[in-house]
Amino acid sequence: MPPKRKVDISPNAASANNYTDSAGDRANKRSRLSKPITNNFKKEVPPEQLTANNDENGGPAEAVKAESNDADPEPTFDHSRPEERSGIVDRRYYPAEMSNERCAQYNNNEIPRPIELLYKAIESTAAQRKVIRDKKEGDAVIHWFKRDLRIRDNTGLSKASALAKEMGKGVIGVWIMSPQDWEAHLVSPAKCDFELRSVKTLKMELAELGIPLHIEVIEKRRHVPKRLVEMAKGWGVKNVFCNIEYEPDELRREEKLVKLMLEEGVNFDPQHDDCVVPPGTLKTGGGKQYAVYSPWYRNWVSYLHSRPHVLDEQPMPSQNPPDFRQKYKELFDAMVPEVPESKRLTDEDKERLHHLYPAGEAAALERLERFLKEKIGKYKDTRNFPSKNSTARLSVHHAAGTLAARTSVRLARDVNTTKKLDGGIQGIQSWISEVAWRDFYRHVLCHWPYVCMHKPFKFEYTNIAWEYSDPHFETWKTGRTGYPIVDAAMRCMNNTAYMHNRLRMVTASFLAKHLLLDWRLGEQYFMLKFIDGDFSANNGGWGFASSTGVDPQPYFRVFNPWLQSEKFDEEGEFIRLWVPELKDIEGKEIHNPYAKSGTKAAAIAEKNGYPKPIVEHKFARERCLARYKAGIGRDTA
């Protein structure tokens, strides 16, 4: 039977087949992006009013929700706020920075967290949704792919397929690209490109199972829920599955969808899948959320040892019924769209990144298997040395969901001599504990959602007087600080869209503590560059390095970039690779070529135009300690 009501794939529905911005849209977007930030906003409001209007859930501000027509409301802007002047808080998409009182209300459980609102929506509708599910009605079941671009070990897809099989029907996959979402979430061009390549392979692999992947471009993210409801109704679908994303915007969207779909008689069924252990599961002895990694990790391990089924592979989806291909022919024909203009890579970058990061789940599994065979044994001893190429380089796959963290942990456990997460081979234990950090930061995000709203976990650190010097920020971004290890790392990232973990810590610490720049500028820049950009991991890393986050290094510990360099790039191999101006310097002097004037190292560096350090280490350290101390001491309410 054909779909009950044909889904609109006309130009107005902005389908994948015809994705183009209108000339007007393009001009509009370009002018918005190219204007100096202070020109972007017209209406000014006093800071008190902005604070009072803060959207407690981090979703669009009230004005956005109140809009009845389709036009974007004029964003408000407060010039007196440095975080708005510098573009950290983009008022096109977000409300003003939240007040500390509001953060404290979250901490005191006085306002509901987005994840709690979703759970409430799921629980309060459970009985009605079960009735719909048990009726086993509808022409198909939808699985909405988001950050889970794979077929294997995919909870939502697996459940959608099982239900479809019971019904004697098939699964329709849906993938939505929202250019506005990519802008608001600072998704890098490298990551956009990787996702689209992964969608291409996903589409082909699904087609082998007779499952179509409907692809649609929806410019404005607030239109997504309504459009999904239309799709379900159009295809005569009564059950829609997806896996949960844990950022506030996404949790609120899913909460809305549970209710919206139910109004139309559809069961929307979001699943835990992205974390190995679902957020909120692990509590301290006092029933609280952990804010320190080590005890959390011990609990994570014992939880999984006592419930080994949590790590089991989710069943593969079944083959769709034979008549599905004919019935939904137009869905099989959907094209993968082009990347929006603002997120496009140059041909040269594309070629390089395609070579470095083959996309799709087959590539992810191959890489994981090779890592488990060849490298994991030595991981504990080698993981901190950037030039050893000893880590898994799987973060890109974990971030896009071409590989489930659960799969990584299970397969690593299975090659351990103990067949457990602890004991046995040290490299394996150590690697599993790194993958667990990913879960930890997601658990933190769910419990303290304001970390996703431009606030530090330690919100009492808000009053540190950060710098906003453009020239300093520019030298950091382009790798011209005069600190070779920092510059090598930044240039590596600019070229490969990836940076080794040790260097992420060193460069982040340098920005926040040596340059005293607002750490959120760096957080933003990393997201705009990384192919593995992941909000919670990135935010967690920046919180650690700037000492404003959960389980951070204490603020008075300031990495000495030269010592870090000597320890983790002893021979200077990594520096030589990325800072060619210094490649002829022999021995340890490469770490700090201007340490003494008149040396051969200084002469080489100078001759090749390598800059002198932009800040002096001792001065920077003392300034940092004084500034943090003063900021923490200030009234923070």
Ligand X SMILES: Cc1cc2nc3c(=O)[nH]c(=O)nc-3n(C[C@H](O)[C@H](O)[C@H](O)COP(=O)(O)OP(=O)(O)OC[C@H]3O[C@@H](n4cnc5c(N)ncnc54)[C@H](O)[C@@H]3O)c2cc1C
Interface residues with ligand X (CB under 6 A) are 383, 391-395, 398-399, 434-435, 437-438, 441, 500-501, 504-505, 508, 526, 530, 532-534, 537-538, 540-542, 545
Residue with tokens 């890098």: 188
Closest distance to ligand X from the beta carbon of 25 (Å): 29
Q: For this structure, is 182 an active site residue?
A: no
Looking at the Cβ atoms of 441 and 450, the one nearer to ligand X is 441
Looking at the Cβ atoms of 161 and 547, the one nearer to ligand X is 547
Asked if residues 124 and 156 have their Cβ atoms less than 8 Å apart, the reply is: no
Rounded-to-integer distance, Cα 85 and Cα 96, Å: 12
Looking at the Cβ atoms of 268 and 431, the one nearer to ligand X is 431
Looking at residue 467, the DSSP 8-state letter turns out to be: B
CA proximity to 198, closest of 19, 365, 358: 358
Out of 182, 235, 296, 466, the active site residue is: 466
Looking at the Cβ atoms of 435 and 601, the one nearer to ligand X is 435
Rounded-to-integer distance, Cα 387 and Cα 500, Å: 9
Looking at the Cβ atoms of 365 and 394, the one nearer to ligand X is 394
Looking at the Cβ atoms of 428 and 508, the one nearer to ligand X is 508
Out of 434, 467, 566, 606, the active site residue is: 434
Looking at residue 144, the DSSP 8-state letter turns out to be: E
Closest distance to ligand X from the beta carbon of 530 (Å): 5
Helix (H, G, I), strand (E, B) or coil at 77: strand
Closest distance to ligand X from the beta carbon of 510 (Å): 11
**Residue 542 token pair:** 């920046």
Looking at residue 511, the DSSP 8-state letter turns out to be: I
Q: How far is residue 480 CA from its own chain's centroid?
A: 27
Closest distance to ligand X from the beta carbon of 399 (Å): 5
Asked if residues 216 and 173 have their Cβ atoms less than 8 Å apart, the reply is: no
**Residue 418 token pair:** 């103990």
Asked if residues 440 and 552 have their Cβ atoms less than 8 Å apart, the reply is: no
**By beta-carbon distance, which residue lies closest to ligand X?**
541
Closest distance to ligand X from the beta carbon of 539 (Å): 8
Closest distance to ligand X from the beta carbon of 349 (Å): 18
Q: For this structure, is 437 an active site residue?
A: yes
Alpha helices in 178-221 (DSSP H): 179-184, 189-208
Asked if residues 239 and 267 have their Cβ atoms less than 8 Å apart, the reply is: yes
Residue with tokens 């956009």: 192
Out of 519, 538, 581, 589, the active site residue is: 519
**Residue 476 token pair:** 């950091």
Asked if residues 327 and 3 have their Cβ atoms less than 8 Å apart, the reply is: yes
Residue with tokens 């004697």: 168
Closest distance to ligand X from the beta carbon of 396 (Å): 7
Looking at the Cβ atoms of 357 and 542, the one nearer to ligand X is 542
Residue with tokens 């930890």: 440
Query: What are the beta bridge partners of residue 43?
Result: 76
DSSP output for 339-405:
PPGGGPPPHHHHHHHHHHS--SHHHHHHHHHHHHHHTGGGHHHHTT-GGG--S---HHHHHHTSS-H
Out of 144, 182, 431, 542, the active site residue is: 542
Out of 17, 494, 501, 608, the active site residue is: 501
Looking at the Cβ atoms of 155 and 496, the one nearer to ligand X is 496
Asked if residues 539 and 545 have their Cβ atoms less than 8 Å apart, the reply is: no
Q: For this structure, is 434 an active site residue?
A: yes
Out of 144, 182, 235, 437, the active site residue is: 437
Closest distance to ligand X from the beta carbon of 434 (Å): 4
Other Cβ atoms closer than 10 A to 103: 23
Closest distance to ligand X from the beta carbon of 394 (Å): 4
Looking at the Cβ atoms of 395 and 592, the one nearer to ligand X is 395
C-alpha distance across the termini of the chain, in Å: 62
Q: Strand 170-177 vs strand 43-44: parallel, antiparallel, or unpaired? A: unpaired
Q: For this structure, is 466 an active site residue?
A: yes
Q: For this structure, is 501 an active site residue?
A: yes
Which residues have a catalytic role annotated? 434, 437, 466, 501, 519, 542
